[in-house]
Structure 1
């Protein structure tokens, strides 16, 4: 009599409710909400000087926040395939990228209100992406 094993290798399974697409949506909604509070409601002109004068509008906020969320998602997916402890490494890279991104609004914003408003948009998008995508990543022990 021989015993055969029908066990299949266990692959990491994402926890339900940890949807990366939902993180993208929440990021965009949060950025648009902050923009709505700053520009139309508070009346702050979110203008920047980058070669020419740029007024940051709803379309710019929508596309930039979605692009950053998808970029974070892509980087996390690549790091999950290439490194053992992707969650920790990705978080460090994402925090550094978020802090580095503050240089642009603080240096090119026109006026104190615009500088602080644009910096707050960067921080909201960064926080939503970092916290949201970090929760979707499997830890090193969950992946092994």
Structure 2
């Protein structure tokens, strides 16, 4: 039985799609931040270790990029070591998204900030989970 090795073109297309997904998630969360903070006037602050700090667009972008790249790395690892990478990755990604909501729920400084942070997490997940899942080998 022959093993199918993806062509260089297929691998390049997969990488481009994954990069586009990570960048799209970042753009979505930055857009969410822009709508909430400058346009709607939400004071976006979070509590961490008893200290309140503003959530800047840089923090939003970096957090989304890191989450996306971590998801991409996990998917790539799973593809190497299991034939069920898509299913395993999807379960892990959804669980991580749900767990990530604990941060804003417990750390948002006020209702508007908490709601905004939850929405930003959900925006990132709404782009990253289906976008990266779509690129996984079957």
TM over 0.5: yes
Q: How does 1:35-114 map to 2 (within 5 A)?
A: 35-51=33-49, 52-114=51-113
User: How many residues are matched?
Assistant: 132
Query: In structure 1, how many angstroms separate the alpha carbons of the residues matched to 2:84 and 2:6?
Result: 14
Q: Take 1:9 and 1:43, find their aligned partners in 2: how far apart are those partners? A: 56
Partner of 1:133: 132
Q: How many angstroms apart in 2 are the aligned matches of 1:108 and 1:59? A: 18
TM-score w.r.t. the length of structure 2 is 0.90
Task: Return 5+ residue gaps in structure 1 as ranges.
Answer: 1-7, 140-144
1:99-142 deviations in Å (ceiling 9; x for gaps): 01000101110111001000000111112110110011111xxx
Cα root mean square deviation, aligned: 1.6
Residue aligning to 2:22: 24
1:119 aligned to 2:121?
A: no
Aligned to 1:5: none
Query: How much does 1:9 deviate?
Result: 4.9
Q: Which runs of 5+ in 2 are unaligned?
A: none
- Flag the structure with higher helix content: 2
CA distance in 2, matches of 1:25, 1:98: 18
TM-score by length of 1: 0.86
Higher gyration radius (CA): 1
SS at match of 2:22: helix
Q: Which residue among 12, 22, 39 is the counterpart of 2:6?
A: 12
Partner secondary structure for residue 74 of structure 2: helix
